[in-house]
Structure 1
Amino acid sequence: MTPPTHDHAPEPAEIEAILRGRHSNPFSVLGMHARDGRPPVVRVFAPEAAEVSVIDAKTGRTAATLDRVDAEGFFSGAMGRRRKPFSYRLRLRAGDAEWERPDPYAFGPVLGELDEHLLAEGRHEELYRRLGAHPVTHEGVDGAAFAVWAPNARRVSVVGDFNAWDGRRHPMRRRLGGGVWELFVPGLGTGAIYKYEILGVHGEVLPLKADPVAFAAEHPPATASVIAGLPRRDWQDEAWMRALPEGTPTQKPVSIYEVHPGSWRRADGDRVLSYAELGEQLADYATQMGFTHVEFLPLSEHPFTGSWGYQPTGMFAPTSRHGSPADFAAMVDRLHRAGVGVIVDWVPAHFPSDAHGLVRFDGTALYEHEDPRLGFHRDWNTLIYNFGRAEVANFLRASALYWLREFHVDALRVDAVASMLYLDYSRDPGEWVPNRHGGRENLDAIEFLRGTNASVSERAPGALTMAEESTAWPGVSRPVDQDGLGFDFKWNMGWMHDTLQYMAQDPVHRKYHHDSMTFGLHYAFSENFVLPLSHDEVVHGKGSLLGKMPGDRWQRFANLRAYFGFMWTHPGKKLLFMGGEFGQEREWNHDASLDWHLLDDPAHAGLQRLVRDLNRLYRETPALHARDCVPEGFEWIDGGDAENNVFSYLRRGAEGDPPVAVIANMAPVLREGFRVGLPAEGRWREVMNTDAEEYGGSGAGNGGRVFATTPGAHGRPAAATMTLPPLGVLVLIPEE
């Protein structure tokens, strides 16, 4: 390279660093620079131009035509007789084309010192308001402000169609305090695609990276980020949001319909539904079926559809498979206006190793651990977040708050909590690193979970968190200030496994497995539980819920109806994966719609009708939900009748609420003259019979009521003689 002869040009090494994309401080070279008592100089790297002029922004006059000091497109020039810096634009020419644009290196920083300080300390609870790409007006000019955390990078550039994906053209300004890089690019707005080109710690150019705090992304398999800004809409769910903090969650009815949005229903041509279509159709269906909430499998952007969203790369970006962030917000709004809450699966446990994602983001193990014994999940071939790094914990906490505050999501179901809590999770001896006390507990993850739940409680009043946690870890749903993890609810995986194992038995063998149905009551009130029949039970060769049931076709439907009757009357909130409510027969396929045509069959339609009526009964009957999480809400009438495969129990609400008696006959045998102890004499109304003809059953029952008289039975002051339908559940409520 020939040294420049112009006194306004920088040193050849500086020019060379710009041309080779190796300069870590481009603002020290590019843009306008004052010189003591001499005309300021402007320096521009514009390889797309043959000529560059500086235009006075106020007068529109040409202040100077810059000298091309390098063949690759580095321009420099002094501003004539001027002595002070001034506002300017650039006019560029190439052949017959001429255009003007502001100079990105003429603008001051976007981030403030407080932002820099909070980001460095990991205390910026709303970091998404500063990091990412935001359409803004900066110093009177419209454009996009970019900011990204990459503390070990030597250089970071924004690239996209707007600069031919050339990382030399928009290198960013480094904020030294927290390792954040920022740049305002004038003229860019919503919809522009971009990535970051990063020069790693060892001087290597990394694969182009998507923005960790992007609010939108291209439709997979494309992987670029999309400028979207924070979601803004004219929300119409004010009444819903005002009521959200009211009452005690454990005392409310919670019946969740778990949905994979890509396969719940498909449109003509097997097209996945848009957020708008999902909002309309789910609002109608969930309301018709009586579910209180819809829970979506993860909606964070993810590259591989077959991961169902559980390997996300965009912790702030609703997947573009169904529309824009604004479309997602509108879907939430629509569900709220229908009286349906929205739960989103959130995945802070791990992330995929796709090259455009977080893996070795700045050339180092930034978000993950360097040591694979701490940082790699063998089960899922994913990377584990370094929860002990303040900036990483801050990033994840901010993601949680983003979904709750900006999208009005009502609750986060936190995936794979068990894998976070234990350092030896799914690892053999010698394949994990003990904590500082020599134990297996992941102290950093514990602190992160507690901190996140505390932040949600403080900054998103009324919003809930639910843990998918499958071990006996104590206090998962106990408040943080009581030494708990701070979740509002925990999935009861033990109940699900035990009861499904029982229901899969041929009834002739069930008496030997009776405790599988009763054991859950020994710990039912140790946590605030959700009873989950989730997507995990209908994949990977497990078949469908209906397919797990034994017997002939009639018995399989009867078994599933009885199981639902048992579940909806058992202590704990309810969750059912889509398709279970009408008896989907084949295993769930994420690439195809549910088999809605099955509802043409009376057996399937009857099962759906039962779930609708169970939801209605559960919501309208305080004894079935108000004390779901305290022992005062449940009493066995007879939990030991293994020989008959019969379970009978009472559910109680608050003082003054009528009790509910439940009698479940899990044998395919009609039992007539069966005497059951009850707490009071008089008529008891049969408000539910899962064997009713309208549900596809035999119609055996008690004509709608039973009569309790003395003497009592089962230690109760009264008893009623009744008929127990085969594979049926009865629910009784006193008439007075």
Structure 2
Amino acid sequence: MAGGRALTTEQAAPGLARNDLEALIAATHPDPFAVLGPHRDAEGYCVRAYLPGALSVELIASDDGRTLCRMHDEQAPGLFEARLEQPCAYRLRIRWAGGEQETEDPYSFGPLLGEVDTYLFSEGNHRDLGHCLGAQCLSVDGISGVRFALWAPNARRVSVVGDFNSWDGRRHPMRLRHPSGIWELFIPRLQPGERYKYEILGHGGILPLKADPMARATTLPPDTSSRIEAPLQHEWLDQQWMAERVRRQAVDAPISIYELHVGSWRRDGGDEGRLYDWHELAERLIPYVCDLGFTHIELMPVMEHPFGGSWGYQLLSQFAPSARYGSPHDFATFVDACHQAGIGVILDWVPAHFPTDDHGLGRFDGTALYEYAHPFEGFHQDWDTYIYNLGRTEVHGFMLASALYWLREFHVDALRVDAVASMLYRDYSRKDGEWIPNCHGGRENLEAIDFIRHLADVTKSEIPGALIIAEESTAWPGVSKPTAEGGLGFDFKWNMGWMHDTLKYIEEDPVNRRYHHDKMTFGLIYAFSEHFVLPISHDEVVHGKRALIDKMPGDRWQQFANLRAYLSFMWTHPGKKLLFMGCEFGQWREWSHDRELDWYLLGYPDHQGLQQLVRDLNRLYREQPALHQRDCSPEGFRWLIGDDSANSVFAWLRLDAQGRPLLVVGNFTPVVRTDYRIGVPLPGRWRELLNSDAECYAGSNIGNGPGIDSNPIEAHGEAQSLSLTLPPLGMLILAPQE
């Protein structure tokens, strides 16, 4: 507004119509901008501000701060009105019981969200919602503040509430943008760090206060408020990593993943100690992971979640790192530090379901907005959670934008998508008569499948080198095939079948393993049907399943020998690797999110030996192309011995792209086998690269010395063979000496 003069109090503004007045006081007015702020009428300009609890309000000129007039609340307490003859840029000087406030009028600003933004959102194809909806710090006409924007199409009224307005929903009702169903409001002079939520009036009344689905920061649990966050201004120093990421994460690259739960890896003060923040974690975790030789870490969900016992898998903030470990800026610094150390960062991400907490997404505007309405589609009985309605374009776009936000904003290298099987099938974990078929009468969730494929295609086209990994436990075909070939488009799939089969085998007493020999060989029948990750994850060491070392049969020595052999089998088997924290040194207790790992165990030689084995397995996996180049190609594997169930012996070749071989031999009984003949493709001397029974791993140190020469004796289809000594419960990796 241009300059103007105030009128006298005798020329007070006309009152509101009765229906508008009653609706404003009752906080049910559908369009507060129609009655609040500056409005032209026949006599000039009327300014109204509804400020319940204010003692007095004055209009002051924005340009020079002079007092224009005092506003009056004669029609209703808190409804302050005044008249100006001419338009004038003004501020409100408000006196509260606790002090004085000076601010621009939120209702003097016009619509701020662009038509393109609202169109793309409604279409389900807005790729950058994290910088569009929610609480965005910005300047309007040179005035700094926060623009709030929220999708709640079925709400009768939405207000922003927080400490800044005493959590009073009458103070800041929002403007509805038709037809998108987005509500928006710019609150001038509001600063980052403020807590806020939304008060929503549905058709059944006022709902419990809702946290912002688009919040980029939150308060520390158990508080459930959202928090205004300034734009991320981290100065990234990971340019080398990002330039090399496509190569480092290719299907022929060594990928060895250390999975961890941030709050229980280590704590300041032991089990009952304080959680480390991202900076402290970086100082401790990154050197440890580098020393052990892992190429990546995978973090169980770090998005904000109300209940720590869900381990993050029941999350409600799809755009906010948990306040438990610091700010979004702190998290960006952590990822940057990992990259500078050559470590990739994978996040667990959950698009399958969300918890039913009152402050969350469930019945968000009084209706089933984010979830399916019918419980046969929209409720997970196993997890007591709601299921995202990915067939709704806005929800589809919301989840797509969440994935892209983590990959772009924080330079995350991969998302491991949780519970994909539950997304693919409408009858997942449901009895007959408790699920609704798709439009063709089938059990496939066509909307979720469309979303997964869209996510895969957008990620590949817009974020080169970033990976999407499926935790998928069924035989769905083509999980890691490109969408153009009819696949789901994931880059890798967790091989859950391999995990269950091989763990069942290794848990058997060695005397009985001959009857379960196929558990170790069956995985090779389908090993190259997908791009697989071999996972030994957190799910295998909780809920009475026992720790990995505790699954092993025999006395203490045999338990460690079995585990060393099993991990060596895993690292030499085709497929990328994933190992949960604590398994690398043989933690005896089941994992608990409430306490740190039992680091004191590394004072014992057998635990030290196991950790050293993992260190050496990772080193060989990276150094020997035969162990990773053809992880996903049948040309990289050749059985030599797969049928010696009587001795529980296995032998195979791993071959690199040039056909150079490594020999892998495993003896899964505690019996030393001497003069065990195995065919090899090349004559000459073969040397041991690794022996899981070596003394440095706390083994019995039985093996084949510095090397062994081949003999011209045919075996296993090869013209040459080796006569080997197989250590008890041991694995050997041998290479031809150049």
Q: Give me the whole-angstrom Cα distance separating, in 1, the residues matched to 2:204 and 2:173.
A: 15
Q: Residue 353 of structure 1: SS of its match in structure 2?
A: coil
| Preserved contact between residue 117 and residue 177 of structure 1 (Cα < 8 Å) | no
Q: How many residues align?
A: 727
Q: What aligned pairs does 1:272-311 form with structure 2 within 5 A after superposition?
A: 272-311=275-314
The more displaced of 413-422 and 202-211 is: 202-211
Q: What aligned pairs does 1:99-498 form with structure 2 within 5 A after superposition?
A: 99-200=101-202, 202-246=203-247, 249-268=250-269, 270-498=273-501
What does the per-residue CA deviation read over 1:105-132, in whole Å, with 9 as the maximum and x for residues that have no partner? 1112221111111111111111111101
Q: Which residue of 61, 69, 76 maps to 1:64?
A: 69
| Preserved contact between residue 154 and residue 203 of structure 1 (Cα < 8 Å) | no
Amino acid at match of 1:413: R
Partner of 2:51: 46
Amino acid at match of 2:37: G
| Preserved contact between residue 215 and residue 228 of structure 1 (Cα < 8 Å) | yes
| Preserved contact between residue 13 and residue 81 of structure 2 (Cα < 8 Å) | no
Q: Residue 458 of structure 2: SS of its match in structure 1?
A: helix
| Preserved contact between residue 568 and residue 692 of structure 2 (Cα < 8 Å) | yes
Q: 1:6 offset after TM fit, Å?
A: 5.9
What does the per-residue CA deviation read over 1:576-611, in whole Å, with 9 as the maximum and x for residues that have no partner? 000000000011011000000000000000000000
Q: 1:248 offset after TM fit, Å?
A: 6.5
Identity fraction in percent:
58
What does the per-residue CA deviation read over 1:491-549, in whole Å, with 9 as the maximum and x for residues that have no partner? 00000000000000000000000000000000000000000000000000011000000
Amino acid at match of 1:584: Q
Q: Which residue of 730, 733, 736 maps to 1:731?
A: 733
Q: 1:305 offset after TM fit, Å?
A: 0.3
Q: What aligned pairs does 1:331-730 form with structure 2 within 5 A after superposition?
A: 331-655=334-658, 658-730=660-732
Q: Residue 561 of structure 1: SS of its match in structure 2?
A: helix
The more displaced of 701-710 and 415-424 is: 701-710
Amino acid at match of 1:492: N
Residues 1:18 and 2:24 are matched in the alignment: yes
Q: Residue 359 of structure 1: SS of its match in structure 2?
A: coil
Q: Residue 522 of structure 2: SS of its match in structure 1?
A: helix
| Preserved contact between residue 684 and residue 734 of structure 1 (Cα < 8 Å) | yes
Q: 1:658 offset after TM fit, Å?
A: 2.5
Amino acid at match of 1:429: D
| Preserved contact between residue 249 and residue 255 of structure 2 (Cα < 8 Å) | no
Q: Give me the whole-angstrom Cα distance separating, in 1, the residues matched to 2:300 and 2:392.
A: 27
Amino acid at match of 1:662: V
The more displaced of 264-273 and 565-574 is: 264-273
**Structure 2: gaps spanning 5 or more residues:** 1-9
| Preserved contact between residue 282 and residue 335 of structure 1 (Cα < 8 Å) | no
Q: 1:733 offset after TM fit, Å?
A: 0.6
Q: Which residue of 4, 9, 13 maps to 2:15?
A: 9
Amino acid at match of 1:12: R
Partner of 1:33: 39
| Preserved contact between residue 565 and residue 690 of structure 1 (Cα < 8 Å) | yes
| Preserved contact between residue 626 and residue 653 of structure 1 (Cα < 8 Å) | yes
The more displaced of 44-53 and 219-228 is: 44-53
Q: Give me the whole-angstrom Cα distance separating, in 2, the residues matched to 1:96 and 1:464.
A: 53
Amino acid at match of 2:15: A
| Preserved contact between residue 191 and residue 228 of structure 1 (Cα < 8 Å) | yes
Please report the TM-score for the alignment, with normalisation by the length of structure 2: 0.97
Q: 1:699 offset after TM fit, Å?
A: 0.2
Q: Give me the whole-angstrom Cα distance separating, in 1, the residues matched to 2:247 and 2:579.
A: 25
Amino acid at match of 2:221: P
Q: Residue 428 of structure 2: SS of its match in structure 1?
A: coil
| Preserved contact between residue 32 and residue 175 of structure 2 (Cα < 8 Å) | yes
Q: Give me the whole-angstrom Cα distance separating, in 2, the residues matched to 1:456 and 1:498.
A: 33
What does the per-residue CA deviation read over 1:635-679, in whole Å, with 9 as the maximum and x for residues that have no partner? 001111100000000001111x62110000001000011111101
Q: Residue 118 of structure 1: SS of its match in structure 2?
A: helix
Q: Give me the whole-angstrom Cα distance separating, in 2, the residues matched to 1:247 and 1:381.
A: 39
Please report the TM-score for the alignment, with normalisation by the length of structure 1: 0.97
Q: 1:712 offset after TM fit, Å?
A: 2.1
| Preserved contact between residue 12 and residue 83 of structure 2 (Cα < 8 Å) | no
RMSD, aligned CA: 1.3
Q: Give me the whole-angstrom Cα distance separating, in 2, the residues matched to 1:97 and 1:576.
A: 57
Amino acid at match of 1:457: K
Q: Give me the whole-angstrom Cα distance separating, in 2, the residues matched to 1:377 and 1:54.
A: 54
| Preserved contact between residue 215 and residue 229 of structure 1 (Cα < 8 Å) | no
Q: Give me the whole-angstrom Cα distance separating, in 1, the residues matched to 2:296 and 2:464.
A: 18
Amino acid at match of 1:526: S
Q: Give me the whole-angstrom Cα distance separating, in 2, the residues matched to 1:221 and 1:175.
A: 33
Q: 1:409 offset after TM fit, Å?
A: 0.4
